[in-house]
Structure formats: C-alpha cells, structure tokens
Amino acid sequence: MAQIAPSILAADFTRLGEEIADCDRLGVDLLHLDIMDGHFVPNISFGPAVVQTIDRTTEKFLDVHLMLSEPEKYFEPFKKAGADLITFHIETHPNPEACVKQLRALNVATGISLNPDKKAELVLPYLHLFDYLLVMSVFPGFGGQSFIESSLDTVRIAREHITKNKLQTKIEVDGGVDSGNADRVVEAGADILVMGTAFFKAADRSKLVKETQAL
C-alpha cells in the first residue's frame, strides 16, 4: 500500500486553507512542503512562517524538503514551525552525519535526498542513519516537470539495500509522479509518492488518492 504526499507548491495559494482542508478531507498521508533558497535551486518558494501557518490548520505529518545550500542553518526554525520530517540534500553534505545528529537532537525525523544525476551508491552508506530517502525524479526547483525514468533505477537499488540490511528507511519519490507512472514507481520500491501538479490539478482528487493508496 503506497502513501500519497501532495506537494503544496502546486496548491492555489489564494485558497491555501481550503486546499489543506481538502487534503485532510481526502485522507492524504502526509503533506510535502518544498523550501527553495534561489541558490541551491534556481527558484524561491516559502519559509518557516508559511509552514507554521499550515501546521496550525492541520494535524497532518509535515514533510519538509529543504532545497537549500546551507540547510543546517534552518533545521531549528523549521522544526519550531512544525516540521515532522526534515530532508536535506546529499549534494550539500556528502558526509551527512553531523546534520543527522543535529536533527536527532531536535527530535525530528530525518531525510536525505539526491538529484536524478546522482548514483544511488552515494547515499547507500548513510541510509541506516535516515528515516526517509527522497529520490528526486526531476531536477529540483520547479513543479510540473516530466518524470525522469532513470530515477527508477535509484529506487530499485535503494530498495534492495534496505531489504538486504533490514533497514527501516522509507523511500519517497518526488517530481513528475502522476497516475500514469505511479504503479511503476511503487513496483520499483517506493513507499511514498509526492504529487504536486498531479494532485492539485486532478479532475478527481478523491479517485487519485484512493487509486494511489491502493497501489
């Protein structure tokens, strides 16, 4: 059974409260919040104040994806804002142990992400430290991009490693995931599917949630 994490980046921000209420009503599993600094990625999104507002309106698990050059500077502000999971990129911290320690001290779940041009082997030695692996299936920075097929290899390799080593790490896939590829992403070994455009622009959100959770 797969989980669905709508990415708020694709929501209608003029009606953010209603969009979140809709996520609650439809029983999505977690909310994915994309934080961009205009430096690690060529775009800027929102910060802790918006995360705090979202946290006040929902009980949902808040999955905060930091696309920041210096994520460690913001671990505490995002935890204070209500993050349940904080994910940073291996590209910014090839030796991520110190960051994991900081996150554990804050009592927040840990996630590590890697871009589509990176080999799974880059993160495997550290996977046991993390609660979540976020496999990027687009180059981060923007919603609405096309799914990059080669990311499925990363998912398969990570799944094999997790099974073989009996790890608890969950695999989340982010970027261009929709009803047309969700089954293949789950078959490759994903536990959680992030859907921005596919969820918020869906003609029938309820059907999408049910079908995804049934995978």
Which residues are identified as catalytic?
34, 174
Chosen residue from 135, 198, 208, 209 binding ligand DX5 by CB under 6 A: 198
- Applying CB under 5 A, does 34 fall inside the site for Zn ion? yes
- Applying CB under 6 A, does 58 fall inside the site for ligand DX5? no
User: Residue 55 — φ and ψ, nearest 5°?
Assistant: -60, -30
Q: Considering only the stretches 13-21, 51-59, 168-176, 204-212, report the one whose residues sit in contact with ligand DX5 under the rule CB under 6 A.
A: 168-176
- Applying CB under 6 A, does 196 fall inside the site for ligand DX5? yes
- Applying CB under 5 A, does 191 fall inside the site for Zn ion? no
Q: To the nearest whole angstrom, how small is the minimum distance from the Cβ of residue 96 to ligand DX5?
A: 18
- Applying CB under 5 A, does 79 fall inside the site for Zn ion? no
- Applying CB under 6 A, does 141 fall inside the site for ligand DX5? yes
User: Smaller CB distance to Zn ion: residue 60 or 65?
Assistant: 65
Q: Considering only the stretches 46-54, 60-68, 146-154, 165-173, report the one whose residues sit in contact with Zn ion under the rule CB under 5 A.
A: 60-68
User: What region, left, alpha or beta, does residue 8 occupy, with left being phi > 0 and alpha being psi -120 to 50 degrees?
Assistant: alpha
Q: To the nearest whole angstrom, how small is the minimum distance from the Cβ of residue 49 to Zn ion?
A: 19
Q: To the nearest whole angstrom, how small is the minimum distance from the Cβ of residue 51 to ligand DX5?
A: 14
Chosen residue from 60, 65, 161, 170 binding Zn ion by CB under 5 A: 65
DSSP secondary structure letters along the chain: --EEEEBGGGS-GGGHHHHHHHHHHHT-SEEEEEEEBSSSSS-B---HHHHHHHHHH--SEEEEEEE-SSGGGGHHHHHHHT-SEEEEETTT-SSTHHHHHHHHHTT-EEEEEE-TTS-GGGTGGGGGG-SEEEEESS-TT-SSPPP-TTHHHHHHHHHHHHHHTT--PEEEEESS--TTTHHHHHHHT-SEEEESHHHHT-S-HHHHHHHHHT-
Q: To the nearest whole angstrom, how small is the minimum distance from the Cβ of residue 101 to ligand DX5?
A: 25
| Binding residues vs ligand DX5 (CB under 6 A) | 7, 9-10, 32, 34, 65, 138, 140-145, 174-177, 194-198
